[in-house]
Each structure stands twice: as C-alpha cells, then as structure tokens.
Amino acid sequence: MENTVEVKTTSMPRIGDKAPAFKAVTTQGEIDFPKQYEGSWVILFSHPADFTPVCTSEFMTFASMEERFAKANCKLVGLSVDGLYSHIAWLRTIKEKIEYRGMKDVEVKFPLIEDITMEVAKKYGMMQPGESATKAVRAVFFIDPKGIIRTILYYPLSLGRNFEEIYRVLIALQTADAFSVACPADWQPGDDVIVPTAGSCGVAKERMESKKDIKCYDWFFCTKKLGKDEVLQKITKK
Ligand code: BEZ
C-alpha cells in the first residue's frame, strides 16, 4: 500500500450484534462497557482528536443536549485515541473559553474514553485507514438496554454530525420497539407510522377495506396515526 500506514481493524461490529465488551479509563473514572449500561440505551461515539474545531463544535452540541437524551433513558459515552490528560485539558478549555452558537460554559459530564492503544477503536471499527491511520472516524453506535447494537452511523473527519438526527434515530428506535411499528422516511414524533405488512391475503383485504384508523397506500404499505404525546409519554422518563 503506497502512502498509507497499515492499521488492522480487528473487527467491524454490525447491527444486531452484541456490543463488544471492554473496560476503559475515562474522564469520569473507569467504565465496564456495556455491562454497566444494562437497562439503559447508550450511544458510544468516537471523534478524531481533542483540540480540533469540528470535534469541539460536536462536543458542545452533544453536551448541551445531554438532558434530552437522559430523559429518553440514554447515556452518552465518547472516545478518541488521545490520552486522559489531553481529554481533561480539552474539556476544561471548552468550559472555560469557548463560546459557540449561543453555547457557553458547557460542561461535558459524560465519560470520554482514553484509547491511546486504539484497542477499543479497533474493536468497534472506528479506525478506517483510508480516511486516517491515526485518528478515529466519527462513528456513532446506538446500543439498546440489552447491549445489542441497533444502529451504526459513520461520518468522515471533515463533517460534523447532526445531533438532532442522532436524537431522532434514538426516539425512532424506541418507538418501533414500544409500538411494534416502523418509521418512514424523515419520520418525526407525531408523524404517521408504518404498521407491519399484512401476512395473509385476508389481512391484506381487510386493511384495504378498512375505514378506521389504518390508511393504506397499497396492501403492503399501510400507516396509522401515533400522537407525539403518546410516543413521548411511553418512552421518556418523568
Ligand atoms: C476537527 O475536528 O476539526 C478535525 C479533526 C480531524 C481532522 C479534520 C478536522
């Protein structure tokens, strides 16, 4: 390989896999992942490096939204292949000095993993040598209360993530689970949801003729109303 340092990505977890386990040092003490998060959702995300501008904008945004994620029973855990003291210094700088898009005095309270050895980053396929041999890409793993990976997003180094989309994905996953439905393109809480496709000719006929709460665009594509309050009441903590 020319001009590329070879980095072994020892594994690449997939949707539906059990989240790979690890113990790590973080800015909030040691963590035992995903064991200590059992019973809640957790978003494990990586960023390329401390003291970089896109990452700083991301951390300020994510930290500002932490309470919304907590209300949806979801904890946040960050990672980069920097060391603990770099993490601490960067998070202090963010709190003390950075004012960005109306956000200031932002305290990052969720754990940020130190991963100088890249052990965790490699376990989760966060090292993608075509993009960078020395920095993790911007990966996002949504892990459910049973420790199963439910969604994975990857962004390149040059693009900051959309954290409203990350919140939308979390709420959509929880809605699909809680109401046994699927969420269509661009779904937001309050929009119609998709009911499971009819599994028999009889149900297909019934659905097409239904004048009640189900609307069918064709026999295989039926939706029903699901109010925003109903969604949020079911999935958010009081
Ligand atoms: C950033 O966060 O600004 C950044 C990090 C690594 C490469 C490019 C940009």
Using an 8 Å Cβ cutoff, are 198 and 204 in contact?
A: yes
Which residue minimizes the CA distance to atom 7 of ligand 1?
157
**Domains 22-162 and 180-235 equal at CATH topology level:** no
Measured in angstroms, how far is the CA atom of residue 226 from the centroid of ligand 1? 40
What six digits make up the tokens of 8? Answer: 């072994």
From 52, 56, 128, give the residue whose CB has the most ligand 1 atoms within 8 Å, as the site to mutate: 52
What amino acid positions are annotated as catalytic residues? Answer: 55
CATH 3.30.70.640 assigned to domain 180-235? The reply is no
* Nearest ligand 1 atom, CA 56: 2
Spatial CB neighbours of 236, under 8 Å, sequence gap ≥ 6 = 71, 72, 73
pLDDT in tens, 163-206: 999 999 999 999 999 999 999 999 999 999 999 988 999 988 88
Question: Which of 7, 21, 71, 13 has the alpha carbon at shortest distance from 41?
Answer: 71
The shares of helix, strand and coil residues in the chain, as percent rounded to the nearest 5, are 30, 25, 45
pTM of this structure: 0.94
Identify the CATH homologous superfamily for domain 22-162: Glutaredoxin (3.40.30.10)
pLDDT in tens, 70-106: 999 999 999 999 999 999 999 999 999 999 999 999 9
For ligand 1, residues with CB inside 6 Å are 48-49, 52-55, 135, 157-158
* Domain boundaries along the sequence of the chain: 22-162, 180-235
Question: Which of 107, 114, 148 has the alpha carbon at shortest distance from 31?
Answer: 114
> Could you give the residue ranges of the DSSP H alpha helices within the chain?
53-64, 66-71, 84-97, 119-123, 163-179, 201-209, 228-235
Question: b/e map of 5-14 (b: 16 or more CB within 10 Å)?
Answer: eeeeeeeebe
